[in-house]
Protein backbone atom coordinates (compact mmCIF):
# COMPACT_ATOMS: atom_id res chain seq x y z
CA UNK A 1 0.00 0.00 0.00
CA UNK A 2 2.28 2.76 -1.23
CA UNK A 3 0.29 5.89 -1.65
CA UNK A 4 2.80 8.71 -1.43
CA UNK A 5 5.91 9.62 -3.37
CA UNK A 6 7.43 11.39 -0.40
CA UNK A 7 6.82 11.59 3.33
CA UNK A 8 7.95 14.59 5.33
CA UNK A 9 8.52 14.16 9.04
CA UNK A 10 7.38 17.12 11.08
CA UNK A 11 5.12 20.01 10.16
CA UNK A 12 7.63 22.61 11.32
CA UNK A 13 7.91 25.51 8.91
CA UNK A 14 10.85 23.87 7.11
CA UNK A 15 9.02 20.58 6.69
CA UNK A 16 6.06 22.49 5.27
CA UNK A 17 8.28 24.46 2.90
CA UNK A 18 9.88 21.26 1.59
CA UNK A 19 6.43 19.65 1.33
CA UNK A 20 5.05 22.61 -0.58
CA UNK A 21 7.82 22.59 -3.17
CA UNK A 22 7.75 18.81 -3.63
CA UNK A 23 3.98 18.71 -4.00
CA UNK A 24 4.05 21.53 -6.55
CA UNK A 25 6.83 19.78 -8.40
CA UNK A 26 4.57 16.84 -9.07
CA UNK A 27 5.10 14.49 -6.14
CA UNK A 28 2.36 13.18 -3.90
CA UNK A 29 3.43 14.28 -0.46
CA UNK A 30 2.36 13.35 3.06
CA UNK A 31 3.44 15.23 6.17
CA UNK A 32 3.49 13.38 9.49
CA UNK A 33 3.39 15.56 12.59
CA UNK A 34 3.74 14.29 16.12
CA UNK A 35 1.74 17.11 17.72
CA UNK A 36 -1.96 17.85 17.42
CA UNK A 37 -1.01 21.09 15.68
CA UNK A 38 1.35 22.17 12.91
CA UNK A 39 4.18 24.69 13.10
CA UNK A 40 6.83 23.27 15.42
CA UNK A 41 8.52 26.38 16.80
CA UNK A 42 6.43 28.63 14.54
CA UNK A 43 2.98 28.68 16.10
CA UNK A 44 0.21 30.95 17.34
CA UNK A 45 -1.74 29.10 19.97
CA UNK A 46 -4.18 30.56 22.44
CA UNK A 47 -3.46 29.60 26.04
CA UNK A 48 -5.73 32.05 27.76
CA UNK A 49 -9.16 33.39 26.85
CA UNK A 50 -9.07 35.52 23.70
CA UNK A 51 -5.33 36.02 23.76
CA UNK A 52 -3.13 34.46 21.08
CA UNK A 53 0.60 34.15 21.65
CA UNK A 54 3.44 33.52 19.25
CA UNK A 55 4.42 30.68 21.51
CA UNK A 56 8.04 30.18 20.41
CA UNK A 57 9.45 32.32 17.60
CA UNK A 58 7.92 35.80 17.69
CA UNK A 59 9.46 38.06 15.03
CA UNK A 60 10.14 37.53 11.39
CA UNK A 61 12.86 38.80 9.13
CA UNK A 62 14.84 35.87 7.91
CA UNK A 63 12.00 34.18 6.07
CA UNK A 64 13.10 34.06 2.44
CA UNK A 65 10.86 36.16 0.29
CA UNK A 66 11.44 33.98 -2.75
CA UNK A 67 9.70 31.17 -0.84
CA UNK A 68 6.77 33.36 0.13
CA UNK A 69 6.42 34.28 -3.49
CA UNK A 70 6.75 30.86 -5.08
CA UNK A 71 4.39 29.22 -2.59
CA UNK A 72 1.99 32.18 -2.92
CA UNK A 73 1.72 32.66 0.81
CA UNK A 74 -0.07 35.99 0.47
CA UNK A 75 -3.01 34.03 -0.94
CA UNK A 76 -3.18 32.13 2.30
CA UNK A 77 -3.25 35.20 4.45
CA UNK A 78 0.40 35.81 5.30
CA UNK A 79 1.19 39.45 6.07
CA UNK A 80 4.49 40.43 7.64
CA UNK A 81 4.37 43.95 9.02
CA UNK A 82 7.67 45.66 9.75
CA UNK A 83 7.93 47.20 13.17
CA UNK A 84 9.87 50.29 14.10
CA UNK A 85 10.98 51.56 17.42
CA UNK A 86 12.55 49.81 20.36
CA UNK A 87 14.38 51.11 23.36
CA UNK A 88 17.12 50.23 25.75
CA UNK A 89 16.19 51.25 29.27
CA UNK A 90 19.08 52.66 31.21
CA UNK A 91 19.45 52.81 34.95
CA UNK A 92 21.51 55.84 35.89
CA UNK A 93 23.98 55.81 38.77
CA UNK A 94 21.69 58.06 40.82
CA UNK A 95 18.87 55.52 40.53
CA UNK A 96 16.92 57.46 37.94
CA UNK A 97 16.01 55.93 34.58
CA UNK A 98 16.44 56.95 31.00
CA UNK A 99 15.97 55.17 27.71
CA UNK A 100 17.85 55.12 24.46
CA UNK A 101 15.29 54.92 21.69
CA UNK A 102 15.59 53.38 18.25
CA UNK A 103 14.01 55.13 15.31
CA UNK A 104 13.50 54.20 11.71
CA UNK A 105 14.94 57.46 10.48
CA UNK A 106 18.74 57.69 10.63
CA UNK A 107 18.93 61.25 11.88
CA UNK A 108 16.23 60.69 14.46
CA UNK A 109 18.03 57.61 15.64
CA UNK A 110 21.30 59.47 15.85
CA UNK A 111 19.75 62.27 17.90
CA UNK A 112 18.83 59.85 20.58
CA UNK A 113 22.08 57.91 20.51
CA UNK A 114 24.08 61.09 20.83
CA UNK A 115 22.55 61.84 24.18
CA UNK A 116 24.67 58.97 25.43
CA UNK A 117 27.69 59.08 23.20
CA UNK A 118 28.29 61.44 20.37
CA UNK A 119 31.17 59.36 19.19
CA UNK A 120 29.08 56.23 18.95
CA UNK A 121 26.56 57.79 16.62
CA UNK A 122 29.18 57.89 13.90
CA UNK A 123 30.86 54.69 14.92
CA UNK A 124 27.48 52.99 14.77
CA UNK A 125 27.17 53.97 11.12
CA UNK A 126 30.53 52.42 10.41
CA UNK A 127 29.61 49.31 12.37
CA UNK A 128 26.40 48.95 10.41
CA UNK A 129 28.22 49.40 7.16
CA UNK A 130 30.66 46.64 8.06
CA UNK A 131 27.89 44.32 9.18
CA UNK A 132 25.97 44.95 5.96
CA UNK A 133 29.14 44.09 4.06
CA UNK A 134 29.32 40.77 5.89
CA UNK A 135 25.64 40.17 5.18
CA UNK A 136 26.12 40.82 1.50
CA UNK A 137 28.80 38.19 1.45
CA UNK A 138 26.78 35.52 3.20
CA UNK A 139 23.26 36.20 2.01
CA UNK A 140 23.46 34.67 -1.46
CA UNK A 141 24.78 31.50 0.20
CA UNK A 142 21.58 30.98 2.18
CA UNK A 143 19.58 29.61 -0.70
CA UNK A 144 22.44 27.50 -2.05
CA UNK A 145 23.48 24.01 -1.10
CA UNK A 146 26.86 24.21 0.65
CA UNK A 147 29.76 22.77 -1.30
CA UNK A 148 31.61 19.81 0.11
CA UNK A 149 35.25 20.89 -0.13
CA UNK A 150 36.47 17.28 -0.14
CA UNK A 151 34.25 15.74 -2.78
CA UNK A 152 35.82 17.02 -6.04
CA UNK A 153 32.51 16.46 -7.81
CA UNK A 154 31.97 19.00 -10.59
CA UNK A 155 29.05 20.69 -8.80
CA UNK A 156 31.04 20.97 -5.58
CA UNK A 157 34.01 22.38 -7.42
CA UNK A 158 31.72 24.88 -9.16
CA UNK A 159 30.21 25.88 -5.86
CA UNK A 160 33.65 26.20 -4.27
CA UNK A 161 34.72 28.31 -7.20
CA UNK A 162 31.68 30.50 -6.66
CA UNK A 163 32.52 30.82 -2.97
CA UNK A 164 36.16 31.49 -3.73
CA UNK A 165 35.27 34.16 -6.25
CA UNK A 166 32.99 35.85 -3.79
CA UNK A 167 35.63 35.65 -1.10
CA UNK A 168 38.39 37.05 -3.28
CA UNK A 169 35.94 39.59 -4.58
CA UNK A 170 35.89 41.01 -1.09
CA UNK A 171 39.35 42.48 -1.54
CA UNK A 172 42.36 42.01 0.68
CA UNK A 173 41.27 44.13 3.58
CA UNK A 174 37.77 42.75 3.75
CA UNK A 175 39.06 39.19 3.54
CA UNK A 176 41.07 39.84 6.67
CA UNK A 177 38.07 41.49 8.25
CA UNK A 178 35.84 38.55 7.40
CA UNK A 179 38.19 36.06 9.02
CA UNK A 180 38.34 38.20 12.13
CA UNK A 181 34.61 38.70 12.17
CA UNK A 182 33.89 34.99 12.02
CA UNK A 183 36.16 34.17 14.92
CA UNK A 184 35.85 37.13 17.31
CA UNK A 185 33.63 37.54 20.32
CA UNK A 186 30.82 40.00 19.91
CA UNK A 187 32.12 41.99 22.87
CA UNK A 188 35.58 42.41 21.38
CA UNK A 189 34.06 43.24 18.02
CA UNK A 190 31.75 45.92 19.39
CA UNK A 191 34.48 47.35 21.60
CA UNK A 192 36.44 48.13 18.47
CA UNK A 193 33.69 50.49 17.40
CA UNK A 194 31.63 51.68 20.35
CA UNK A 195 32.10 53.13 23.80
CA UNK A 196 28.62 53.32 25.28
CA UNK A 197 27.68 50.34 27.43
CA UNK A 198 23.95 50.56 26.83
CA UNK A 199 24.33 50.47 23.07
CA UNK A 200 26.87 47.69 23.25
CA UNK A 201 24.76 45.51 25.50
CA UNK A 202 21.74 46.16 23.28
CA UNK A 203 23.64 44.79 20.30
CA UNK A 204 25.65 42.12 22.08
CA UNK A 205 22.68 40.56 23.80
CA UNK A 206 21.21 39.68 20.45
CA UNK A 207 24.36 37.84 19.48
CA UNK A 208 23.95 35.32 22.29
CA UNK A 209 20.40 34.38 21.39
CA UNK A 210 20.01 30.62 21.11
CA UNK A 211 23.64 29.98 21.87
CA UNK A 212 25.20 28.79 25.09
CA UNK A 213 28.06 31.22 24.75
CA UNK A 214 28.77 34.50 26.47
CA UNK A 215 29.34 37.86 24.88
CA UNK A 216 33.06 37.39 25.47
CA UNK A 217 33.13 33.92 23.86
CA UNK A 218 34.93 33.79 20.52
CA UNK A 219 32.65 33.14 17.57
CA UNK A 220 29.72 35.18 18.83
CA UNK A 221 30.31 38.21 16.57
CA UNK A 222 29.06 36.15 13.64
CA UNK A 223 25.67 35.71 15.30
CA UNK A 224 25.13 39.47 14.87
CA UNK A 225 24.47 38.62 11.24
CA UNK A 226 21.45 36.62 12.17
CA UNK A 227 19.83 39.85 13.20
CA UNK A 228 20.98 41.88 10.27
CA UNK A 229 20.81 39.30 7.52
CA UNK A 230 17.09 39.24 7.01
CA UNK A 231 15.12 41.83 5.21
CA UNK A 232 11.55 42.88 4.71
CA UNK A 233 10.69 44.15 1.27
CA UNK A 234 14.24 45.16 0.58
CA UNK A 235 14.89 46.84 3.92
CA UNK A 236 17.96 45.03 5.12
CA UNK A 237 17.96 44.19 8.80
CA UNK A 238 14.29 45.04 9.27
CA UNK A 239 12.15 42.80 11.47
CA UNK A 240 8.43 42.39 11.40
CA UNK A 241 5.44 40.79 13.01
CA UNK A 242 3.47 38.16 11.17
CA UNK A 243 -0.15 39.28 11.43
CA UNK A 244 -1.84 36.81 13.74
CA UNK A 245 1.47 35.67 15.20
CA UNK A 246 4.20 33.47 13.79
CA UNK A 247 1.69 30.66 13.39
CA UNK A 248 0.38 32.61 10.41
CA UNK A 249 3.53 31.57 8.55
CA UNK A 250 3.03 27.85 9.16
CA UNK A 251 -0.67 28.19 8.52
CA UNK A 252 -0.08 29.84 5.15
CA UNK A 253 2.52 27.20 4.27
CA UNK A 254 0.13 24.47 5.34
CA UNK A 255 -2.82 25.89 3.42
CA UNK A 256 -0.69 26.41 0.33
CA UNK A 257 0.46 22.79 0.57
CA UNK A 258 -3.09 21.48 1.05
CA UNK A 259 -4.35 23.56 -1.85
CA UNK A 260 -1.70 21.95 -4.04
CA UNK A 261 -3.12 18.56 -3.08
CA UNK A 262 -0.86 17.57 -0.20
CA UNK A 263 -1.87 15.77 2.98
CA UNK A 264 -0.97 16.35 6.62
CA UNK A 265 -1.53 13.88 9.44
CA UNK A 266 -1.46 15.19 12.99
CA UNK A 267 -0.81 13.09 16.10
CA UNK A 268 1.41 10.91 13.95
CA UNK A 269 4.81 10.87 15.63
CA UNK A 270 7.47 8.75 14.02
CA UNK A 271 9.30 6.42 16.36
CA UNK A 272 11.81 4.91 13.91
CA UNK A 273 12.66 4.52 10.27
CA UNK A 274 12.63 1.20 8.45
CA UNK A 275 15.85 0.71 6.54
CA UNK A 276 16.74 -2.21 4.29
CA UNK A 277 20.10 -2.63 2.56
CA UNK A 278 20.95 1.00 3.15
CA UNK A 279 17.66 2.20 1.68
CA UNK A 280 14.78 3.79 3.52
CA UNK A 281 11.59 1.79 3.25
CA UNK A 282 9.24 3.63 5.54
CA UNK A 283 8.69 4.28 9.20
CA UNK A 284 7.00 3.10 12.30
CA UNK A 285 4.70 5.51 14.09
CA UNK A 286 4.45 5.92 17.83
CA UNK A 287 0.97 4.39 17.69
CA UNK A 288 2.45 1.22 16.18
CA UNK A 289 1.27 1.86 12.66
CA UNK A 290 3.73 1.51 9.77
CA UNK A 291 3.93 3.84 6.80
CA UNK A 292 5.79 2.79 3.67
CA UNK A 293 7.88 5.24 1.72
CA UNK A 294 10.94 5.19 -0.50
CA UNK A 295 11.53 8.88 -0.08
CA UNK A 296 11.55 10.46 3.35
CA UNK A 297 12.51 13.99 4.32
CA UNK A 298 13.04 14.56 8.01
CA UNK A 299 12.33 17.96 9.48
CA UNK A 300 13.39 16.77 12.90
CA UNK A 301 16.75 17.89 14.19
CA UNK A 302 19.80 15.83 13.36
CA UNK A 303 19.97 14.06 16.73
CA UNK A 304 16.36 12.91 16.51
CA UNK A 305 16.65 11.96 12.87
CA UNK A 306 19.63 9.69 13.44
CA UNK A 307 18.26 8.31 16.71
CA UNK A 308 15.33 7.01 14.69
CA UNK A 309 17.67 4.94 12.51
CA UNK A 310 18.99 1.60 13.66
CA UNK A 311 22.66 2.30 14.43
CA UNK A 312 23.58 -0.89 12.56
CA UNK A 313 22.69 0.92 9.36
CA UNK A 314 25.05 3.81 10.02
CA UNK A 315 28.80 4.33 9.99
CA UNK A 316 29.98 4.75 13.57
CA UNK A 317 31.41 8.21 12.97
CA UNK A 318 28.02 9.42 11.80
CA UNK A 319 26.44 8.06 14.98
CA UNK A 320 29.13 9.89 16.95
CA UNK A 321 28.66 13.12 15.05
CA UNK A 322 24.92 13.09 15.56
CA UNK A 323 25.49 12.45 19.24
CA UNK A 324 28.08 15.23 19.49
CA UNK A 325 26.18 17.90 17.59
CA UNK A 326 25.91 20.68 20.13
CA UNK A 327 22.40 21.63 21.16
CA UNK A 328 22.75 22.99 24.70
CA UNK A 329 19.44 24.68 25.31
CA UNK A 330 20.03 28.11 26.72
CA UNK A 331 16.89 30.13 26.05
CA UNK A 332 13.55 30.47 27.72
CA UNK A 333 10.41 32.32 26.86
CA UNK A 334 7.53 33.84 28.79
CA UNK A 335 4.39 34.95 26.97
CA UNK A 336 2.31 37.29 29.07
CA UNK A 337 -1.30 38.40 28.72
CA UNK A 338 -1.63 41.97 29.98
CA UNK A 339 -4.64 43.89 31.20
CA UNK A 340 -3.59 47.06 29.35
CA UNK A 341 -0.33 48.59 28.25
CA UNK A 342 2.34 48.64 30.95
CA UNK A 343 4.58 51.66 31.37
CA UNK A 344 8.35 51.57 31.60
CA UNK A 345 10.72 53.85 33.46
CA UNK A 346 12.53 56.15 31.07
CA UNK A 347 10.07 55.64 28.20
CA UNK A 348 7.38 58.32 27.86
CA UNK A 349 3.85 56.96 27.74
CA UNK A 350 3.15 57.66 24.08
CA UNK A 351 6.62 57.01 22.77
CA UNK A 352 6.72 55.42 19.32
CA UNK A 353 9.61 53.35 20.66
CA UNK A 354 7.16 51.07 22.49
CA UNK A 355 6.28 49.23 19.28
CA UNK A 356 9.78 47.81 18.97
CA UNK A 357 12.04 45.57 21.00
CA UNK A 358 12.62 46.66 24.59
CA UNK A 359 15.75 45.81 26.55
CA UNK A 360 17.03 46.23 30.07
CA UNK A 361 20.57 44.84 30.09
CA UNK A 362 22.95 47.49 31.31
CA UNK A 363 26.35 46.30 30.18
CA UNK A 364 28.27 43.54 28.49
CA UNK A 365 29.66 42.54 31.87
CA UNK A 366 26.14 42.00 33.12
CA UNK A 367 25.50 39.80 30.11
CA UNK A 368 28.63 37.80 30.80
CA UNK A 369 27.48 37.26 34.37
CA UNK A 370 24.16 36.08 33.00
CA UNK A 371 26.11 33.47 31.08
CA UNK A 372 27.99 32.45 34.22
CA UNK A 373 24.64 31.60 35.80
CA UNK A 374 23.86 29.31 32.89
CA UNK A 375 27.19 27.54 33.27
CA UNK A 376 26.38 26.96 36.91
CA UNK A 377 23.04 25.41 35.98
CA UNK A 378 20.86 28.35 37.07
CA UNK A 379 18.65 30.70 35.11
CA UNK A 380 20.29 34.08 34.86
CA UNK A 381 19.76 36.43 37.74
CA UNK A 382 19.86 39.40 35.32
CA UNK A 383 19.13 37.78 31.98
CA UNK A 384 19.13 39.35 28.55
CA UNK A 385 15.48 39.98 27.74
CA UNK A 386 14.06 40.68 24.31
CA UNK A 387 10.61 42.11 24.99
CA UNK A 388 8.01 42.99 22.40
CA UNK A 389 4.36 43.89 22.53
CA UNK A 390 3.01 42.67 19.16
CA UNK A 391 -0.56 43.70 20.07
CA UNK A 392 0.49 47.35 19.67
CA UNK A 393 0.78 46.64 15.97
CA UNK A 394 -1.42 43.58 15.44
CA UNK A 395 -5.12 44.04 16.23
CA UNK A 396 -5.92 40.33 15.89
CA UNK A 397 -4.13 38.80 18.86
CA UNK A 398 -5.77 40.26 21.96
CA UNK A 399 -9.09 41.80 22.93
CA UNK A 400 -9.16 45.54 22.33
CA UNK A 401 -7.32 47.51 24.99
CA UNK A 402 -5.49 44.43 26.22
CA UNK A 403 -2.02 43.43 25.21
CA UNK A 404 0.35 40.54 25.17
CA UNK A 405 4.07 40.66 25.59
CA UNK A 406 6.61 38.23 24.22
CA UNK A 407 9.66 37.90 26.47
CA UNK A 408 12.60 35.96 25.13
CA UNK A 409 15.12 35.05 27.82
CA UNK A 410 18.79 34.30 27.52
CA UNK A 411 19.95 32.29 29.57
CA UNK A 412 17.90 29.49 30.97
CA UNK A 413 19.49 26.04 31.29
CA UNK A 414 18.08 22.79 30.02
CA UNK A 415 19.37 21.03 33.10
CA UNK A 416 19.14 22.73 36.45
CA UNK A 417 21.89 22.21 39.00
CA UNK A 418 19.31 21.89 41.75
CA UNK A 419 17.45 19.02 40.05
CA UNK A 420 14.96 18.31 37.29
CA UNK A 421 12.59 20.93 36.02
CA UNK A 422 9.19 20.66 37.70
CA UNK A 423 6.11 22.89 38.05
CA UNK A 424 7.52 24.74 41.09
CA UNK A 425 10.85 25.49 39.48
CA UNK A 426 9.19 26.48 36.24
CA UNK A 427 6.91 28.89 38.09
CA UNK A 428 9.85 30.25 40.04
CA UNK A 429 11.60 30.94 36.72
CA UNK A 430 8.52 32.70 35.35
CA UNK A 431 8.08 34.75 38.48
CA UNK A 432 11.73 35.71 38.45
CA UNK A 433 11.27 37.14 34.97
CA UNK A 434 8.18 39.10 36.05
CA UNK A 435 10.12 40.45 39.04
CA UNK A 436 12.99 41.41 36.83
CA UNK A 437 10.75 43.26 34.37
CA UNK A 438 8.98 44.95 37.27
CA UNK A 439 12.25 46.57 38.28
CA UNK A 440 11.83 48.61 35.12
CA UNK A 441 8.06 48.89 35.03
CA UNK A 442 6.04 50.21 37.99
CA UNK A 443 2.70 48.76 36.90
CA UNK A 444 3.75 45.58 35.16
CA UNK A 445 2.87 43.07 37.85
CA UNK A 446 -0.64 44.36 38.38
CA UNK A 447 -1.37 44.04 34.66
CA UNK A 448 -0.35 40.39 34.34
CA UNK A 449 -3.40 38.22 33.59
CA UNK A 450 -1.69 35.03 32.52
CA UNK A 451 1.65 33.73 31.51
CA UNK A 452 2.91 30.86 29.43
CA UNK A 453 6.29 29.88 30.79
CA UNK A 454 8.63 27.96 28.54
CA UNK A 455 11.87 26.50 29.77
CA UNK A 456 14.23 24.71 27.37
CA UNK A 457 12.68 21.50 28.69
CA UNK A 458 9.17 22.66 27.73
CA UNK A 459 10.39 23.72 24.32
CA UNK A 460 11.95 20.30 23.80
CA UNK A 461 8.86 18.47 24.97
CA UNK A 462 6.56 20.42 22.73
CA UNK A 463 8.53 20.97 19.55
CA UNK A 464 11.08 18.20 19.70
CA UNK A 465 13.93 20.71 19.56
CA UNK A 466 16.63 18.74 21.37
CA UNK A 467 17.53 20.29 24.73
CA UNK A 468 15.30 23.15 23.65
CA UNK A 469 17.96 24.63 21.38
CA UNK A 470 15.94 27.08 19.36
CA UNK A 471 18.02 26.64 16.20
CA UNK A 472 18.05 22.82 16.08
CA UNK A 473 21.69 23.07 17.08
CA UNK A 474 23.97 25.99 17.85
CA UNK A 475 24.97 28.36 15.08
CA UNK A 476 28.69 28.39 15.73
CA UNK A 477 31.30 28.29 13.00
CA UNK A 478 32.09 24.60 13.61
CA UNK A 479 28.45 23.72 12.96
CA UNK A 480 27.86 25.82 9.86
CA UNK A 481 28.08 25.48 6.09
CA UNK A 482 29.60 22.14 5.03
CA UNK A 483 29.82 21.11 8.67
CA UNK A 484 26.09 21.49 9.26
CA UNK A 485 24.93 19.06 10.47
CA UNK A 486 27.61 16.49 9.58
CA UNK A 487 30.55 16.89 7.22
CA UNK A 488 29.90 14.94 4.05
CA UNK A 489 26.16 15.08 4.73
CA UNK A 490 25.64 18.82 4.54
CA UNK A 491 23.76 18.56 1.27
CA UNK A 492 20.52 17.44 2.89
CA UNK A 493 21.30 13.77 2.29
CA UNK A 494 22.10 11.04 4.81
CA UNK A 495 24.04 7.76 4.60
CA UNK A 496 20.63 6.13 4.05
CA UNK A 497 19.52 6.27 0.46
CA UNK A 498 16.16 7.97 0.10
CA UNK A 499 16.36 9.67 3.50
CA UNK A 500 16.90 13.44 3.48
CA UNK A 501 16.98 16.19 6.11
CA UNK A 502 15.29 19.58 5.85
CA UNK A 503 15.18 21.03 9.37
CA UNK A 504 17.14 23.90 10.88
CA UNK A 505 19.91 21.43 11.73
CA UNK A 506 20.91 21.76 8.07
CA UNK A 507 22.42 24.71 6.21
CA UNK A 508 21.88 27.63 6.65
CA UNK A 509 20.47 26.89 10.10
CA UNK A 510 17.86 28.08 12.52
CA UNK A 511 15.41 30.88 12.51
CA UNK A 512 12.16 31.09 10.65
CA UNK A 513 13.90 31.24 7.33
CA UNK A 514 12.52 28.40 5.22
CA UNK A 515 15.83 28.10 3.40
CA UNK A 516 16.72 24.59 4.68
CA UNK A 517 13.33 23.33 3.56
CA UNK A 518 13.61 24.87 0.10
CA UNK A 519 17.23 23.75 -0.40
CA UNK A 520 16.36 20.20 0.68
CA UNK A 521 13.45 20.04 -1.77
CA UNK A 522 15.77 21.13 -4.56
CA UNK A 523 18.26 18.36 -3.70
CA UNK A 524 15.53 15.71 -3.54
CA UNK A 525 14.26 16.75 -6.95
CA UNK A 526 17.78 16.81 -8.34
CA UNK A 527 18.18 13.14 -7.37
CA UNK A 528 14.83 12.35 -8.97
CA UNK A 529 15.86 14.15 -12.13
CA UNK A 530 13.00 16.59 -11.72
CA UNK A 531 12.86 20.34 -11.92
CA UNK A 532 11.74 22.30 -8.89
CA UNK A 533 8.43 24.07 -9.46
CA UNK A 534 8.06 26.95 -9.36
- Chain residues in the site for other proteins (CB under 8 A): 87, 98-101, 103, 105, 107-112, 114-115, 118-123, 125-126, 129, 132-133, 136, 171, 173-174, 193, 346-348, 351, 353
Of 116 and 222, the one with the shorter C-beta distance to other proteins is 116
Of 334 and 358, the one with the shorter C-beta distance to other proteins is 358
C-alpha to C-alpha distance for 451 and 411, rounded to whole angstroms? 18
Q: Which does 247 bind (CB under 5 to 8 A by kind): other proteins, ligand FAD, none?
A: none
Among 510, 519, 524, 525, the residue binding ligand FAD under the rule CB under 6 A is 510
H-helix segments, 325-357: none
Of 91 and 432, the one with the shorter C-beta distance to other proteins is 91
Of 89 and 302, the one with the shorter C-beta distance to ligand FAD is 302
Of 113 and 246, the one with the shorter C-beta distance to ligand FAD is 246
Q: Does residue 62 belong to the site contacting ligand FAD (CB under 6 A)?
A: yes
Of 193 and 421, the one with the shorter C-beta distance to other proteins is 193
Give which of 462, 503, 187 is closest to 333, Cα–Cα: 462
Residue partners of 526: CB distance under 8 A and separation at least 6: none
Q: Which does 118 bind (CB under 5 to 8 A by kind): ligand FAD, other proteins, none?
A: other proteins
Sole window of 26-34, 85-93, 138-146, 487-495 interacting with ligand FAD (rule: CB under 6 A): 26-34
Q: Does residue 206 belong to the site contacting ligand FAD (CB under 6 A)?
A: no
DSSP secondary-structure letter at 468?
G
Residue 350: CB minimum distance to other proteins, A: 8
Chain mean position to CA 481: 16
Q: Which does 424 bind (CB under 5 to 8 A by kind): other proteins, ligand FAD, none?
A: none
Q: Does residue 40 belong to the site contacting ligand FAD (CB under 6 A)?
A: yes
- In three-state secondary structure terms, 486 is coil
| Cis amide linkage into residue 497, ω under 30° from 0 | no
Task: Spell 237-271 as b/e; 16+ CB within 10 A means b.
Answer: bbbbbbbbbbbbbbbbbbbbbbebebbbeeebbbe
Residue 134: CB minimum distance to other proteins, A: 10
Residue 181: CB minimum distance to other proteins, A: 15
Q: Does residue 254 belong to the site contacting ligand FAD (CB under 6 A)?
A: no
Residue 172: CB minimum distance to other proteins, A: 10
Residue number with the smallest Cβ distance to ligand FAD: 12
Residues pairing with 274 in the sheet? 282
Q: Quickly count: other Cβ atoms within 10 Å of residue 1's Cβ.
A: 5
C-alpha to C-alpha distance for 387 and 360, rounded to whole angstroms? 9
Residue 126: CB minimum distance to other proteins, A: 6
Residue 405: CB minimum distance to other proteins, A: 20
Residue partners of 402: CB distance under 8 A and separation at least 6: 51, 337, 338, 339, 340, 391, 449
62: phi then psi, degrees, rounded to nearest 5:
-80, -20
191 neighbors 203 (Cβ within 8 angstroms): no
Residue 173: CB minimum distance to ligand FAD, A: 32
Residue 323: CB minimum distance to ligand FAD, A: 17
DSSP secondary-structure letter at 391?
G
Q: Does residue 211 belong to the site contacting ligand FAD (CB under 6 A)?
A: no
58 neighbors 294 (Cβ within 8 angstroms): no
User: Pairing mode, if any, of strands 296-298 and 6-9?
Assistant: parallel
Which residues are at the interface with ligand FAD (CB under 6 A)? 9-15, 32-35, 40-42, 56-59, 62, 269-270, 299-300, 304, 331, 333, 408, 459, 463-465, 470-472, 503-504, 510-512
Amino acid sequence: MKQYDAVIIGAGHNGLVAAGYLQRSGLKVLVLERNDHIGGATTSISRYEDFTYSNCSYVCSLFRQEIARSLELYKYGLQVIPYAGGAQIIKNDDGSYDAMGTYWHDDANRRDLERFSKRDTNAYDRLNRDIIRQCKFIKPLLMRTPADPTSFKPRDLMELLYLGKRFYGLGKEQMHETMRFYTMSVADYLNEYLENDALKSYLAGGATVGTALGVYSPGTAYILLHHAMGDLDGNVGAWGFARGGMGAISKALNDSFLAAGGHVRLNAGVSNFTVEHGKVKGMQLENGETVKADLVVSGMDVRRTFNAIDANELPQWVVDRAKNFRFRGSSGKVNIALDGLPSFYGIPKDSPCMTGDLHISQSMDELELAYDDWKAGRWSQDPYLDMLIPSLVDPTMTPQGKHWMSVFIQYCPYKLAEGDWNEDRKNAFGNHIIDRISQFSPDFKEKVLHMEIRTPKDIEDETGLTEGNIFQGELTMDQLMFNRPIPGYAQYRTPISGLYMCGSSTHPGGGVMGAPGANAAREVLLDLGKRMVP
